[in-house]
Amino acid sequence: MSDEYQLQIARKGDKSSLASSSAISSLVARGRRDAAFLTLHARAESEERRSGLLGWPALWDQIEKPTEDVQREAERGYAAAQFNLGWRHDNRHLGVPGVGQDYAEAARWYRRAADQGLAPAQFNLGVMYDMGEGVGRDYAEAARWYREAAEQCVAPAQFNLGIKYENGEGVAQDATEAVAWYRKAAEQGFCKAQFNLGLKYVSGDGVAQDYVQAHTWISLAAPRANLADGKRYAATRDSLAAKMNPAQIAEAQRLALTWVTNRRDESIAKEGSLAVRCNKCGERNELVFAGCVCASCSEALDRKWGSSTATDWLVTRPDSAVGRRVSDLVLLNTSYAQMKKYSWAANDADSRIQGFFRFRQATSEEVSHLESQPGAWSHASGARIIRPATPEEVAAKKRGDREWQIAMDTDQILLDACEKFGIQMSEHNVPVGDFQRIEQAAEEIARRLRQLGWLEELVKMTREDCDAVHAMDGGRLLEIVFRQ
């Protein structure tokens, strides 16, 4: 690649950008189009903030408990309760009766859980030292606690430790070490780390410059990010692609697809190793395809679908024996071999994330077909109805994906506004606080949603009573925004 087409990451205050090399003058002479590309902002991601409960299933048993019970268990030394009590003091938007925001108290309980080796508490304590909330700001202590959690494979901690090495905060500045920690988090699917790792490959800082690897990691980051960041990641990837030849782009796309496929297969294999029966026929036979189905069922599937050229599939699974409900899962751009694995993995979380579930009542024909298979209505039943998806079903899947993404990102906007204006949420998710502050928060939320172009979409989603709106925690505050 010639010098005039080289890219580099250039620091600009606390930001980075894709900037031209010393040969920029010759590029400008070639036209504004090329020059405009070289000024595209590609801001590196900064530290991840504190972790909540949803990412830690082992902590869920504490969520619904009264604060008095959690306090009692915390004082007895139960680490999960200590973390939960710290989290309640950390977040005023929770609106827990009798618990106000108190960063010092939050840090005290996080520390007690962290000293017992609880990784999320170690991470959150690291962030408190990083931000100087509840404790004095101390980058060395932040890095120390990040490392404790990172060594337990906590992806946000690995990412934040990479940032510390990137900036030389609390540790000696070391681009190679930053890349190493970004990579550990990126390989776990942490999109911010994937993006930063991609930028490192663009700049050649801490790793050999490699546009194929840069394109691969940024491509992986884009669909995993929220909508706003995903657009930014995709724009960076596409601008980088403009300086790559078709063979390089094809190789980057192949590497990205291989990474996704391998990760799904590993997830299926992990779940399948727990299975004792074929997920399709229910018999105790030797299992193939990562522990999903037996050889006999695999051959039957091959005879039915093996020659299919379909790339979009609809998988209908039983959801509940009560009322005979089913869920439809649409898998886009999925080969037959991949579909066979994902469809019969009983509890494959990554496949569920990649697909979109739509819950509905089963038709009489579907009930008859499903009940002809063993254990049809059990939680991990292998009963399935599979066929190529129609264009209408594919369109509904894409629409549903967008609705859920908007709803979840809007929930974060609502949460940030509550924290900024000191508003709590009651146990029924009703905003509690000074009326004027609630109105100010609503104005701030409306402004942000207009900037993103989501306000009208959210109004339409609410009017159509879509599932994504029902899943939002801040729906009552959003109603106030709509009334304005």
53-78: average pLDDT: 75
List, for residues 292-327, the tens digit of each pLDDT value.
678 888 888 888 888 888 889 888 888 777 788 888
Q: Does 247 score more than 80 pLDDT?
A: yes
Q: Does 379 score more than 70 pLDDT?
A: no
List, for residues 149-190, the tens digit of each pLDDT value.
999 999 999 999 999 999 999 999 999 999 999 999 999 999
* 12 membership: H or E segment, kind and range: strand 7-12
- Closest C-alpha among 185, 182, 163, 158 to residue 173: 163
347-372: average pLDDT: 70
Task: Please report, rounded to a whole number, the percentage of residues in the chain having pLDDT higher than 70.
Answer: 77
User: What per-residue confidence (pLDDT) applies to 335?
Assistant: 81
- Closest C-alpha among 197, 164, 195, 192 to residue 180: 197
382 residue type, one letter: G
User: What per-residue confidence (pLDDT) applies to 198?
Assistant: 96
Binned at pLDDT 50, 70 and 90, residue 276 comes out as low
Residue whose structure tokens are 């402004």: 447
List, for residues 4-22, the tens digit of each pLDDT value.
233 333 333 343 333 333 3
117-127: average pLDDT: 92
Greatest CA span in the chain, whole angstroms?
72
Distances (CA, A) of 191 to 43, 99, 264: 14, 33, 16
Least confident of 89-98, 121-130, 224-233, 236-245: 89-98
User: What per-residue confidence (pLDDT) applies to 345?
Assistant: 63
Query: What b/e string do you get for 143-161 counting C-beta neighbours within 10 Å, with b at 16 or more?
Result: bbbbbbbbeeebbbbbbbb
Rounded Cα gap, residues 383 and 367, in angstroms: 11
Q: Which fold has domain 48-140?
A: 1.25.40
Rounded Cα gap, residues 208 and 256, in angstroms: 19
Distances (CA, A) of 332 to 348, 395, 396: 16, 11, 12
List, for residues 133-145, the tens digit of each pLDDT value.
899 999 999 999 9
How buried is 303 (Cβ within 10 angstroms: 0-12 exposed, 13-18 middle, 19+ buried)? exposed
Rounded Cα gap, residues 379 and 346, in angstroms: 9
- What DSSP string describes 365-381? HHHHHHTTSTTTTSTT-
Distances (CA, A) of 91 to 103, 109, 362, 385: 9, 13, 42, 44
User: What per-residue confidence (pLDDT) applies to 175?
Assistant: 96
Q: Does 433 score more than 80 pLDDT?
A: no
Task: Please report, rounded to a whole number, the percentage of residues in the chain having pLDDT higher than 90.
Answer: 34
User: What per-residue confidence (pLDDT) applies to 59?
Assistant: 64
- Closest C-alpha among 459, 463, 465 to residue 446: 459
Neighbouring CB atoms inside 10 A of 26's CB total 12
Q: 3-state DSSP call for residue 463? A: helix
Range of 179-183, 265-269, 349-353, 429-433 with top mean pLDDT: 179-183
Binned at pLDDT 50, 70 and 90, residue 460 comes out as very high
User: What per-residue confidence (pLDDT) applies to 357?
Assistant: 63
Q: pLDDT averaged over the chain?
A: 79
Question: CB under 8 Å, gap of 24 or more: what pairs does 256-264 form?
Answer: 256/216, 256/219, 256/220, 259/216, 259/220, 260/220, 261/338, 263/189, 263/350, 264/338, 264/341, 264/342, 264/348, 264/350, 264/351, 264/354
Q: Does 478 score more than 80 pLDDT?
A: yes
Q: Does 255 score more than 70 pLDDT?
A: yes
Rounded Cα gap, residues 353 and 295, in angstroms: 27
Taking the domains of the chain in order of start, what are their residue ranges? 3-38, 48-140, 308-393, 395-483
Q: Select the more confidently predicted residue: 428 or 259.
A: 259
What does pTM read for this prediction?
0.73
Rounded Cα gap, residues 461 and 284, in angstroms: 46
Q: Which tokens sit at 381?
A: 């039943």
Q: Select the more confidently predicted residue: 294 or 426.
A: 294
DSSP state, 333?
Answer: S
Q: 3-state DSSP call for residue 393? A: helix
Q: Does 241 score more than 70 pLDDT?
A: yes
Instruction: Give the length of the chain.
Output: 484
